[in-house]
Copies of this chain bind each other. A is one copy, B any other.
Amino acid sequence: MPTQLSLTDLAARIGAEVRGDGARRVSGVAPLLTAGPQELAFYANPRYRKELAGTRAAGVIVAEHEAAHVPHGSATLVAAQPYVAFAKASAVFHRELTMEPGAQRFALVDDTAEVHPTAAISPGAYVGPGARIGARTTLHAGARVLDNAQIGEGCTLWSGAIVRERCLIGDRVVLQPNCVIGSDGFGFAFDLEGDGDGPMHRKVPQAGIVRIEDDVEVGACTCIDRATLGETVIGRGTKIDNLVQVAHNVRVGPLSLLVAQCGISGSTELGQGVILAGQVGVVGHLKLGDGARVGAQSGVSRDLEAGETVSGAPAIPHREWLRMVAALPKVADLLREVRKLSKRVEELEEEARGRGKPQAEALETR
């Protein structure tokens, strides 16, 4: 990890082009507002244009079309993918918490577990019978891998993360603190007879596992249930936020994003690159096509086509939802208006009947 880099050197590493003084040296990245003259900042959201104008940063990463807004005191680092360039720049200077390889004092490693010598097992971390831990993987204090589970290479299991028996975790997977992989699915059969003591919810054994592919991240306190039979699967490169519920037998495709507090019911399948925003709920046994996107707090109760964008509960096409929610607050007034309108129509009808009758009479009397 370098302590300082010239903007020119840094730009080369992150795929950006320097405009201005490339010889300036930076030692880290920082937000526009607080960045000092030895730090690199990043601008993308127009909400922060004021902060951009006032920044003291040595340089600012921006897209080409925003380059003109960078103030003269800062160099401009133009990038085709500014946020990607920022991520790379930050990674250049950031050092993740690392542990010494080997099992530390109070590490609880079963004699029958296979732990790679380059893996780090912290105090109070647990590796159960028959479990396998791959090269360069870190178990922080209190991470737990139960019997016969397998963890790949270069993974990070933060404190309190739990991988239950037999589950399979790929390479470079990150498990945030207190997440749970392989809890029992919520499977009960209502048994009218029970075992002689009246009706009961009889447990359906959750005999399957969870399989997590490479490069997945699982958020804090997120729960991924093991399959009833077979596998619950999280696809390669998918990222899951905190407090998410993934039920038994769900299959999430690669490169999907599941935002905080969303929940997916049993046996539902998500394609590649699906995005569920925060607090979304999806019912069971559905198929959500590649690239489907679901707006925050929505409830999905039908299959989604590839590329569909939906919102609302029950979810409908996003544009329709926008029109709908703009209209709904007017319904109370609409009710009154229609009531009045109905009266007016009634009066017209009465008037018409009144007009009709006398005319008829008039005809008769002619």
**Residue on B nearest A33 in the bound complex, by CB:** B230
* In contact, A144 and B164 (Cβ under 8 angstroms): no
Max chain B CB contacts within 10 Å: which of A31, A178, A202?
Answer: A178
Do A162 and B164 form a contact, CB below 8 Å, given A204-B83, A223-B219, A245-B260?
no
Question: CB of A112 within 8 A of chain B?
Answer: no
Q: Is A176 an interface residue (CB 8 A)?
A: yes
Q: Which residues 131-155 of A sit at the B interface, judged by CB distance below 8 A?
A: 140-142, 144, 146-147
Q: Which of B108, B124, B189, B223 contacts A83 (CB 8 A)?
A: B189
Q: Which residues of B are found within 8 Å of A329, using beta-carbon distances? A: 316, 320-321, 324
Closest chain-B Cβ to A205's Cβ sits at a distance in Å of: 4
A126 close to chain B: CB less than 8 A: yes
For the complex, give the distance between the alpha carbons of A349 and B343 in Å.
Answer: 12
Shortest CB distance A208–B (Å):
9
Given contacts A221-B180, A278-B265, A278-B281, A126 and B146 within 8 Å (CB-CB) = no
Query: What residue in chain B is nearest A295 (Cβ atoms)?
Result: B299
Of the stretches A2-10, A16-24, A63-71, A89-97, the one at the interface is A89-97
Complex copy number for this chain: 3
A227 to B, closest residue via Cβ? B31
Q: Mark A199-232, 1 if CB is under 8 A from B, else 0.
A: 1111111010000000101011101010011100
Question: Which of B105, B159, B189, B221 contacts A243, CB < 8 Å?
Answer: B221
Given known A177-B183, A184-B174, A330-B335, contact A220–B220 (CB-CB < 8 A): no
Chain A 308-331 interface mask (CB, 8 Å, partner B; 1/0)? 000001101000110111111111
The answer to whether A86 and B241 touch (CB under 8 A), given A97-B147, A180-B220, is no
Interface size class of A (residues with CB under 8 A): 35 or more
Considering the chains assembled together, what is the distance between the CA atoms of A344 and B316 in angstroms? 32
| CB < 8 Å neighbour of A159 from B94, B162, B332 | B162
The CA of A276 and the CA of B81, in the complex, are separated in Å by 36
Instruction: Give the interface centre of A96, A159, A323, A331 by most chain B CB atoms within 10 Å.
Output: A159
Contact of A87 among B204, B325, B328 (CB under 8 A): B204
Q: Is the CB of A229 within 8 A of B283?
A: no
> Which of B105, B184, B348 is in CB contact (< 8 Å) with A349?
B348
Q: For A146, give its contact among B47, B140, B183 (CB under 8 Å).
A: B140
In the complex, whether A352 has a CB less than 8 A from a CB of chain B is yes
Q: Are A341 and B345 in contact (CB under 8 A)?
A: yes
Q: Answer yes or no: A84 CB below 8 A from chain B CBs.
A: yes
Query: Please, how many angstroms separate the alpha-carbon atoms of A65 and B164 in the complex?
Result: 39
Q: Does A160 contact B (CB under 8 A)?
A: yes
Known contacts A90-B204, A223-B242; 20 further A-B pairs (Cβ under 8 A): A87-B187, A87-B203, A90-B229, A124-B142, A142-B162, A144-B160, A160-B162, A162-B178, A186-B219, A201-B239, A221-B221, A223-B260, A260-B263, A260-B265, A261-B261, A278-B281, A331-B331, A331-B334, A337-B338, A348-B349
Give 30 CB contacts A-B under 8 Å: A34-B230, A45-B285, A84-B202, A86-B189, A87-B202, A87-B203, A97-B147, A124-B142, A140-B146, A142-B142, A160-B178, A162-B178, A176-B183, A180-B220, A186-B239, A186-B242, A200-B215, A200-B237, A220-B223, A242-B245, A245-B261, A260-B263, A261-B261, A261-B281, A279-B281, A279-B299, A281-B296, A297-B297, A297-B313, A334-B334
Task: Please name the 6 residue pairs, one residue from A and one from B, whose CB atoms are nearest each other, closest first.
Answer: A183-B220, A94-B205, A83-B189, A327-B332, A180-B220, A220-B223
